Homo-oligomer: A and B are copies of this chain.
Amino acid sequence: MAPLSKEQFEAQRQASKMKIIVVALELFSKKGFINTSINDIAKTANISKGLMYNYFESKDVLLEECLKMVLEGVVGGIQAATQIKNPEERLEFLIRTSFDMLKENPHIWKMFVSLSLQLDKESASYRILNEYWSQLFKNAVSIFKEMGYEDYEERAFRYGAMMDGLAMQYILLGEENILFDKTLQGAINIYCYNK
């Protein structure tokens, strides 16, 4: 049993880190990154400020790890799309699951936008976010190409703008707006099935 203990320690450590990340994500997304202090996080997680720095070397690194974790979840959620052969259906699946996630956790997506706007473009966190958006766009381009459109890049750009815009509307106005779902369905009809 003795030889296992080291790995057990590591597992315990990972679990503790995860607990902190969950709390930090909650606070970052609700109050904003800048407006959340290390003290806030430590208090909410019921640990000391010092322990925070045992696990994460700085507030910035903590943010990085938060982003990595949550984006891993997002990527995992839309991974199933690769199974879908038909590009039209694949795109519809992507749109629907993306907006399901947005509706389930609007604060997180609000945080993504907020960070994209306020982070230093050279920071690691910004790069992580940027990498994700780039992948999304490239994916859309290849789908429209697969659909056989000649103007696939332009289409992907227009599609991206509409998705961003709809997401912004949801983030800023909230669900109360009845027009949202109707417009989303309309967008699916247009971009997936061109009708």
Interface residues of A (CB under 8 A from B): 32, 34-35, 110, 113-114, 116-118, 133, 153-154, 157-158, 160-166, 168-169, 171-172, 177, 179-180, 182-183, 186-187
Residues of chain B with a CB closer than 8 A to A34's CB: 34-35, 118
Residues of chain B with a CB closer than 8 A to A117's CB: 32, 110, 113-114, 117, 171-172
The one of B32, B133, B166, B179 that contacts A165, using a Cβ cutoff of 8 Å: B166
Residues of chain B with a CB closer than 8 A to A157's CB: 169, 177, 179-180, 183
Number of copies: 2
Residues of chain B with a CB closer than 8 A to A154's CB: 179, 182-183, 186
Residue of B nearest to A115 (CB): B117
In angstroms, how far is the closest chain B Cβ from the Cβ of A184?
9
Complex formed: what's the CA distance from A157 to B169 in Å? 9
The one of B32, B113, B162, B179 that contacts A162, using a Cβ cutoff of 8 Å: B162
Identify 22 residue pairs between A and B in the complex whose beta-carbon atoms are under 8 Å apart, listed by A's number.
A34-B35, A34-B118, A113-B168, A114-B117, A116-B172, A133-B172, A154-B179, A154-B186, A157-B169, A157-B177, A157-B179, A158-B183, A160-B169, A161-B165, A161-B166, A161-B168, A161-B169, A162-B162, A164-B165, A164-B168, A164-B169, A168-B168
Residue of B nearest to A186 (CB): B158
In angstroms, how far is the closest chain B Cβ from the Cβ of A65?
22
Residue of B nearest to A130 (CB): B172
